[in-house]
C-alpha cells in the first residue's frame, strides 16, 4: 500500500488546511509513541517468519487517537496494521451456513412467535417477537435468505424499513416506547446465536439507551462550545484526511479514525426513512463481505425518538455503525479487558479500508 498510513496521523493532521486542522484538533487528540524490545537470538527465526524481519519489531510506532467528544479511544500499532487484509468468502463457511438450513427462522410463521401487534412483512423479510427479550419491546427481523451473507443493498434497505415499521407499531401499542434501536449481529463471532439471517429491533422508554444518550449530550455540548455542528465537523475531518467512502446522495460515510474495533465504518444520514441511507449501508456491507473479506459483523442504528421528548434531538441525525468482528474460524475473542475497560486496540488501518471501499465502487 502506497497511500497514507494511520501511524502517520500526527503529520497528516499537521498538513491539513487550517480550518480542517482546527476541526480535527477540536474533536481528536492524536499522539504517537514508540515501543521497543530486545529479542534473544533464539527468537529471530520465529520473528522473521511472523513479522518479516527482526528490525520490524525492534521499534514499533503506536498512534493513539481519542475522540474528545465521545471519549472513544483507539490504539493503532504499525506492526499489526502492516498485515494484508484477508478477502473472499471461504467455501467452508458457505457450507457451514448451508448445513444449518431448515431452522425455525426458515419457516417463521410456525417457528417464531408474533408480537402483540402482529407481524410486519416486507419484500425480503418478516418480523417475529423475540422469545427472551432485552426490553419491553424486542423484535426480530427474519430475512427470507437463510444465508445472511447473500445480502444486497435492496435487501438491506428492506430489512431496515421493516424494522422501522415494527418500531412504529410498538409506539402505537405503547406511546412511551418512543426510543428505537436497530441492530444486526451477523454470525456467532458477532454475537449472533442463530445463523439464519436476522436483525433485531427494540423500543425503549424513559430515555434513549445510555450510549446513544451519551452521544446526544456530547454533540450538544460540542455545538454549544464551538458554535459548529459535531456531526458536520466529524465528517469534514474524515473527508479532509481522505477517509470518506462511497455513499448515495445526501448520505455521508467514512472509515472511523477512532474505531471501536476492526474496519469500523460510520454512516450519517437524515433519517432511517431515507432509502439512500439504507441502501448505502447495504452497499457497504456487500463490499465488506466481497472486497474486505468480512463475514462476522455488527451493525447499529442510532436514531432519534419517534415522538417528541423533553430532550433536544434537533441536531441529531441517524448514525449507523458497522464493525468487523474477525474471522468466524478464529477461537480467540476479538475483545478483551483492554477493550472492555481501557481503549480499543485495532489492527486494520482506516486509510487502507477507505481505499479498498473506494476502489470496489
Q: Which residues in this chain contact Zn ion in the complex, by CB under 5 A?
A: 103, 105-106, 146, 196
Quote the distance between the C-alpha of residue 219 and its chain's center.
19
Q: Which is nearer to Zn ion, 92 or 103 (CB)?
A: 103
* CA–CA gap between residue 128 and residue 139 (Å, rounded): 6
Q: Is 52 left (phi over 0), alpha (psi -120 to 50) or beta?
A: left
Q: Which is nearer to Zn ion, 105 or 297 (CB)?
A: 105
Query: Which pairing describes strands 265-269 and 198-204: parallel, antiparallel, or unpaired?
Result: unpaired
Least Cβ distance, residue 132 to Zn ion (angstroms)? 19
- Which residue, 192 or 304, is less far from Zn ion as judged by CB? 192
CB 98 to Zn ion: min, Å: 10
Chain position carrying cell 405503547? 174
**Axis crossing angle, helix 18-27 with helix 230-241, rounded to the nearest 10:** 120
For 248, residues 6+ apart whose C-beta sits below 8 A from its C-beta are: 276, 277, 279, 280, 283
The answer to whether the beta carbons of residues 313 and 304 sit under 8 Å apart is: yes
Q: How far is the CB of 154 from Zn ion (least distance, A)?
A: 20
In the block, which residue shows the cell 520490524? 56
To the nearest whole angstrom, how small is the minimum distance from the Cβ of residue 197 to Zn ion? 8
Which residue's CB comes closest to Zn ion?
Answer: 196
Please choose, from the candidates 128, 193, 135, the residue with its C-alpha nearest in 3D space to the C-alpha of residue 163: 128
What is the DSSP code string of 150-206?
S--HHHHHHHHHHHHHHHHHHHHH-TT--EEEEEEEESGGGT-S--S-EEEEEEE-S
CB of 126 to Zn ion, least distance (A): 13
- Least Å distance, CB 140 to Zn ion, is 12
| CB of 277 vs Zn ion, minimal distance in Å | 28
Q: What angle do CA 303, 308, 313 make, to 5 degrees?
A: 45
Q: Which is nearer to Zn ion, 99 or 340 (CB)?
A: 99
Nearer CB in complex with Zn ion: 46/188: 188
**Helix (H/G/I), strand (E/B), else coil: 315:** coil
Q: Which is nearer to Zn ion, 105 or 184 (CB)?
A: 105
Calpha distance 197→199 (Å, rounded)? 7
From the list 261, 319, 328, 256, the residue with the least C-alpha distance to 289 is 328
Quick one: the chain helix, strand, coil %, rounded to 5?
40, 20, 40
Nearer to Zn ion, 192 or 269 (CB): 192
Q: Tell me the closest approach of the beta carbon of residue 349 to Zn ion, in angstroms.
A: 36
What is the rounded distance in angstroms from the CA atom of residue 213 to the CA atom of residue 278?
A: 22
- The distance of closest approach from Cβ of residue 101 to Zn ion in the complex, given in angstroms and rounded to an integer, is 5
Amino acid at each position: 500500500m502506497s497511500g497514507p498510513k494511520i501511524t502517520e496521523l500526527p503529520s497528516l493532521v499537521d498538513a491539513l488546511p487550517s480550518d480542517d486542522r482546527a476541526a480535527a484538533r477540536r474533536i481528536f487528540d492524536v499522539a504517537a509513541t514508540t515501543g521497543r524490545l530486545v529479542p534473544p537470538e533464539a527468537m529471530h527465526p520465529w520473528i522473521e517468519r511472523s513479522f518479516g524481519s527482526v528490525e520490524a519489531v525492534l521499534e514499533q510506532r503506536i498512534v493513539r487517537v481519542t475522540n474528545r467528544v465521545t471519549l472513544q479511544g483507539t490504539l493503532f500499532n504499525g506492526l499489526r496494521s502492516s498485515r494484508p487484509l484477508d478477502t473472499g468468502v471461504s467455501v467452508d463457511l458457505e457450507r457451514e451456513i448451508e448445513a444449518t438450513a431448515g431452522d425455525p427462522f426458515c419457516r417463521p410463521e410456525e417457528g417464531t412467535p408474533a408480537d402483540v401487534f402482529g407481524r410486519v412483512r416486507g419484500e425480503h423479510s418478516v418480523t417475529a417477537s423475540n422469545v427472551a427479550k432485552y426490553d419491553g419491546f424486542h423484535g426480530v427481523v427474519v430475512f427470507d435468505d437463510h444465508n445472511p451473507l447473500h445480502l444486497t443493498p435492496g435487501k438491506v434497505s428492506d430489512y431496515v424499513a421493516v424494522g422501522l415499521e415494527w418500531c412504529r407499531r410498538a409506539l402505537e401499542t405503547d406511546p412511551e416506547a418512543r426510543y428505537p434501536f436497530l441492530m444486526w449481529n451477523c454470525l456467532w463471532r458477532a454475537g449472533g446465536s442463530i445463523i439464519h439471517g436476522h436483525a433485531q429491533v427494540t423500543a425503549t422508554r424513559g430515555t434513549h439507551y445510555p450510549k446513544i444518550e451519551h452521544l446526544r449530550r456530547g454533540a450538544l455540548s460540542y455545538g454549544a462550545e464551538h458554535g459548529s455542528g459535531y456531526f458536520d465537523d466529524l465528517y469534514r475531518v474524515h473527508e479532509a484526511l481522505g477517509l470518506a467512502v462511497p455513499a448515495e446522495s445526501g448520505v455521508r460515510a467514512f472509515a472511523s479514525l477512532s474505531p471501536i474495533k476492526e474496519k469500523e465504518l460510520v454512516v450519517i444520514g437524515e433519517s432511517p426513512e431515507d432509502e439512500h441511507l439504507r441502501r448505502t449501508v447495504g452497499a457497504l456491507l456487500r463490499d465488506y463481505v466481497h472486497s474486505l473479506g468480512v463475514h462476522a459483523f455488527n451493525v447499529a442504528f442510532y436514531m432519534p425518538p419517534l415522538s417528541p421528548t423533553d430532550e433536544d434531538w434537533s441536531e441529531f441525525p441517524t448514525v449507523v455503525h458497522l464493525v468487523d468482528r474477525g474471522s468466524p474460524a478464529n477461537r480467540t475473542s476479538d475483545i478483551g479487558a483492554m477493550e472492555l475497560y481501557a481503549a480499543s486496540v485495532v489492527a486494520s488501518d482506516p486509510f487502507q479500508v477507505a481505499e479498498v471501499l473506494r476502489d470496489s465502487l
